[in-house]
Structure 1
Amino acid sequence: MRTSQAPDTQASPSVVHEPPAAGKSLPAATATATVSAPRKTLKLGAKGKTVTWMQKRLTELGYRPGKADGQYGGTTLAAVWAFQKVNDIKPTSTIARRTWEALETPKTPKILVRNGKPTRAEVNLTKQIMVLYVGGQVKLITHVSSGSGIPYCETTTWQGKEQRFCGSASTPTGDYRTTWRASGWHKSYLGQLYNPIFFNGGIAFHGALSVPLYPASHGCVRMPMNVSVELPGLLGKGVPVHVKGKFRRA
């Protein structure tokens, strides 16, 4: 992770495992809004009104923690990670002072393309987040996991015969547009992609059962399952996708 980020507490688990759940899209709150946040320390698995408050606040700000059900599980954790990264807090599963303070006076995501189209997707490889703008406003912010950058060679059965595929597992930076998509689980030659939306050849946004805090894909942009359920309804064909930055391991 980026060493310039200050930790909230100790490091958190690195994988999100939850089934799809339809998310609710609400307008993002203004970054200048000041609210009174609870100060109770929360750990993964916590339940109660404080968790509900956090879930509602994250949703107001454009994140996708899932239903505001008062249960701090994997879907909410992924939203917490995204929020912490935008606010320069080292991602952790424990919600303590710095995260509560940031929830009161949050930062907005750094704009990667100043003169970009009002509706566009920006992938920040440095922070491992994706921000979707609709009509010039932040509509959705999510934690992602991009290409690992580690060369690979894998043997798999594809189109009825055993084949070997090799590549660099990178997510190239650049300016692209969304092209074709598939609904539900789509089998590619390197694995299963949920609701993929392609934007650069075989590279797509897609849901995955594992979305760790580090780049781990073969090149696609993995995102939490609940986000991949909602995204196709927000991101149409031919929409600009800008991929910028470079991930630096701690």
Structure 2
Amino acid sequence: MFGIAALVGCSSAMSGGTGGGEGAAAAPQPLAAPATTIAPTTTVAPTTTQAPTTTVAPETTTTIPPTTIPDTIIEVGAMDEPIQAIGTSSGQEAARVQLRLLQLGFWVQAADGDYGLTTRQGVMAFQKYMGFDDPDGRVDEQTAQALTTETVRPHARANSGTLVEVDKGKQLLYFVIDGKTEWILNASTGNGESYTEPDQNTPGEIITGVSLTPSGLHEVNRQRPDGWWEGDLGEIYRPKYFVGGVAVHGSNSIPNYPASHGCVRVSVPAMDWIWDSEIMPLHTPVWVHDGA
């Protein structure tokens, strides 16, 4: 703000007089010129009040650093062409679903357009990971949109080492290689219920227990490589045991809920792939947790 200048002026004062005597006339006296006193004019310099100098801080641009994604998490791009809701129909769109599942790390046997067992299992595993209410293995609108827009590859909780991780909360099995989640399988673990059943290997004997998949850090300690084996509580396919009689094994029933006596069920084709790929050799750590 600038000050307003005040100009102050002074006025001039004038005074005068005549002198005279009584009696004979006197020679006229010249009149004195009236004395005029002019007050000096005083000029007062204008007073200027200047506003204090204000330094305006430059605008500060706040740069928000980009979100840093750990090296163990793999980014993927959203799809340019949206996945269509095909249910369980085979065909060209089913092949796109299979390719997308493989890109996201959900194992399927082939991207051949045949909406078969492993494709349904892969879709179900994806739905479980996303937390959908009814993971049924069908590509509905919700599933199609999620497959289309996902930008980060789903991953296990483990972010270091090489191990198998079993998440009982999500009912999923992960293969973690050097801290990165490479593959995810649909799984079904112990249902937590008590059971009393005949021992399939010892006629006349009865087995009682609780169907629990034990949490903790274990390791593959024995295995049976060929075909179906008669376990105490039923047939199991090419099992890899990691604690007592509890194993990861192939099964013909892998629902979207815990259903086993304690083992970790995966599909028969998935179990063949585990053996053929040698992704789970003896002494592989197996971490089982509740997912909380």
CA contact (8 A) 1:37 1:100 kept: no
Corresponding residue number in structure 1 for 2:188: 145
Corresponding residue number in structure 2 for 1:154: 197
Deviation per CA, 1:181-238, whole angstroms, max 9, x where unpaired?
1012121111111111111111100000011111110100001111111113111111
CA contact (8 A) 2:162 2:285 kept: yes
Distance 2:200 2:213 in 1: 24
Corresponding residue number in structure 2 for 1:6: none
Distance 1:82 1:239 in 2: 23
Structure 1 moving runs of 4+ over 6 Å: none
- Within the candidate set 188, 199, 223, 1:181 is matched to 223
C-alpha change, 1:218 and 1:93, in structure 2 (3 Å) is same
- Within the candidate set 101, 123, 133, 2:166 is matched to 123
Corresponding residue number in structure 1 for 2:279: 234
Corresponding residue number in structure 1 for 2:85: 41
Deviation per CA, 1:100-121, whole angstroms, max 9, x where unpaired?
232234344453345x4x2111
- Within the candidate set 82, 94, 98, 2:142 is matched to 98
CA contact (8 A) 1:37 1:103 kept: no
Query: TM-score with structure 1 length normalisation?
Result: 0.79
Corresponding residue number in structure 2 for 1:67: 110
Corresponding residue number in structure 1 for 2:259: 216
Distance 2:157 2:96 in 1: 30
Hey, which of these two has a bigger chunk of strand by percent?
1
C-alpha change, 1:216 and 1:33, in structure 2 (3 Å) is same
Query: TM-score with structure 2 length normalisation?
Result: 0.68
- Within the candidate set 142, 163, 168, 2:205 is matched to 163
3-state SS in 1 of match to 2:98: helix
Q: For structure 1, which segment, 199-208 or 69-78, has the greater mean C-alpha deviation from structure 2 after superposition?
A: 69-78
Deviation per CA, 1:18-52, whole angstroms, max 9, x where unpaired?
xxxxxxxxxxx9333222244422122x1210000
Distance 2:200 2:233 in 1: 10
Corresponding residue number in structure 2 for 1:82: 125
Q: What is the RMSD of the two structures over their aligned residues, measured on CA atoms?
A: 2.2
Higher relative contact order (CA 8 A, sep 6+): 1
CA contact (8 A) 2:95 2:113 kept: yes
Distance 1:198 1:39 in 2: 39
Alignment size in residue pairs: 216
- Within the candidate set 27, 47, 55, 2:98 is matched to 55
3-state SS in 2 of match to 1:54: helix
- Aligned partner of 1:171: which letter? T
Give the superposition deviation at 1:134. Answer: 1.6
- Fraction of identical pairs, as percent: 31
**Which entry has the higher C-alpha Rg, 1 or 2?**
2
Distance 1:109 1:40 in 2: 21
Give the superposition deviation at 1:123. Answer: 0.7
- Aligned partner of 2:211: which letter? A
- Aligned partner of 2:282: which letter? K
Distance 1:239 1:155 in 2: 32
Give the superposition deviation at 1:178. Answer: 1.1
Corresponding residue number in structure 2 for 1:17: none
Give the superposition deviation at 1:67. Answer: 1.7
3-state SS in 2 of match to 1:162: coil
Unaligned 5+ segments in structure 2 are: 1-72
